[in-house]
Amino acid sequence: MKVDHLVTMANQIGTFFASYPDQEEASSEIASHLQRFWAPPMRRQLLEHVELNEGEGLHAPVLASIRTHVTRLTPALPRTAAAG
């Protein structure tokens, strides 16, 4: 998926949670949404964009949420079959 599309979708999520009066809760909810509903490859691509391009195009609250919750947003590595 193109990173521009991921940035747009992440910003839309951020816009939804921007109405929360508690910004820490909003940040947590942004991360929760990304974790629950975005496939691991999408999250990997977004995290790579933040790392390599400083999150260019992401709204400040979304970028802050990703940076704060990077550990929980990082997908687990796939398990490999044990050699027999």
Structural domain total, the chain: 1
Domain for residue 84, yes or no? Answer: no
pLDDT on residue 82: 60
Kindly state the helix (H) or strand (E) to which residue 16 belongs, with its residue range: helix 3-17
- 13-43, pLDDT tens digit by residue? 999 999 999 999 999 999 999 999 999 999 9
pTM: 0.89
Task: Compute the average pLDDT of residues 65-69.
Answer: 98
Domain for residue 66, yes or no? Answer: yes
Structural domain boundaries, residue 53:
3-73
pLDDT above 80 (res 83): no
Which contacts (CB < 8 Å, 24+ apart) does range 37-42 have?
A: 40/75, 40/76, 41/1, 41/75, 42/1, 42/6
Q: Which amino acid is at 62?
A: V
